[in-house]
Structure 1
């Protein structure tokens, strides 16, 4: 299956000499949720803005479903819905009017039934006659998503969509995104909430200093970079890890009542069996144990710090 978005050799430099993007090559598959992660200033918003035709690239090409964003701008842009970081809308318009107006901007005929469904899906129906200025920050963010969906795009860009949104609304948005993916909409998400990417994404890309430094399916990424921690809750307090256990690089915590062993999930030999045997030889008994998998956030931090 051909990608719905194809980016090739994309660069963006400014008159000041700053280069925001450095030869980006990226394909986004049709119907996937793709999470683009990166620290502030990494180039996430610049990349999205170029794909959406808001910013001109210095060099390189971008196509959306086969339409070049430079030579076939209108055709490409009509396929895209964008939810930007900043809230841009008429504060004194009603929710219904501003979402309907956005649909008209793309030359789409009026479709009150569709607008009603979008507002209901986003829990905005009761606010349809409210002016934007009367809404909370989280509800305004939902209005921006409704505007982006009003012309039935095939690709939805969510640039920090849940910034300033409470936990309940955030989870509601996750459900909306999953439903869109089920309907065939491709979703590209940038976020600082790593749990969003871990919860929803099919693939993850990490951008840093204008370059894509990692591109992988989320499950493979977790397996490739993931580590596990074996946490042993001790029966009796110890003041220090015995020297004979030094090869295991154990961490002593919880006032001497806990030992943590970190091991590589890719290794055939985890070392757990020998560790438990050595603990017994040293007279260390544990009351309970549990394991924890590295989170995507820990993987992300380790990558951007390199």
Structure 2
């Protein structure tokens, strides 16, 4: 069990969140409120019934209900309200900087204009005290041509997002399916990330690095199955945005005691802790820290490393990054001084 001091450190330390799907922060209460506001009928009669449906067996069974929840998002204010609610939770968890994924294809396929999606999310980011940047994700279960069309649609709003990512069902959709669109994004000067090595094999991590030229790997927990790949990730200091509660909920690991986060750290990898889809997976970023540290033999130095990694791996300008890292160091100096 976590002692009170460790619990306080995890909750209060400054941190960045680098793997958060904004649509995955949509709580059942807000889904019902937006459904009522927009006249959308839901398959579930109550908030409690919807919560009970969050019994996933794998990534696909989660995605099915995730897309159903997103159906209530129709107007710019809906996207604003969803993002503002997440950022308020992030602020309460002492998140200083968030790099937020959004899935435009989930919405444009339903007839919601791209402009409506990005303007609502972006406006909420401007109104929050939490520093926030947007990463537009392509849905990998759809054809690459649709990703290219989405990119073209996004270009008039290029100043509102800093990078692109690749998400949705991993099995059967290797990174190389998206070589052309990622090359185009690289030419545009966008940051590049991709989900790989969650349900997909370690080879997907390799191809995401070699063929898509990504700068960070989202998830990546299966890298330890390949010693050569693990050594490369450590050598090149490629960050992994690990999401512990998500990994348990989607049965990547059966229970938190089985999670390989400590082994990833011991292998010299740049590991970060994140919440993925917090409304669906049982907790926001602090809950991910608390659950992980409660189950694994992790201590204060691990907490400091993870907090520093979150800012080191963030797509922040040099001065801002140095400022956050200094804040982390000051926090831990004060924490250990108070302990003494």
User: Normalised by the size of structure 1, how large is the TM-score?
Assistant: 0.34
Which has the higher Rg, Structure 1 or Structure 2? 1
Q: What TM-score do you get using the length of structure 2 for normalisation? A: 0.32
More strand by share: 1
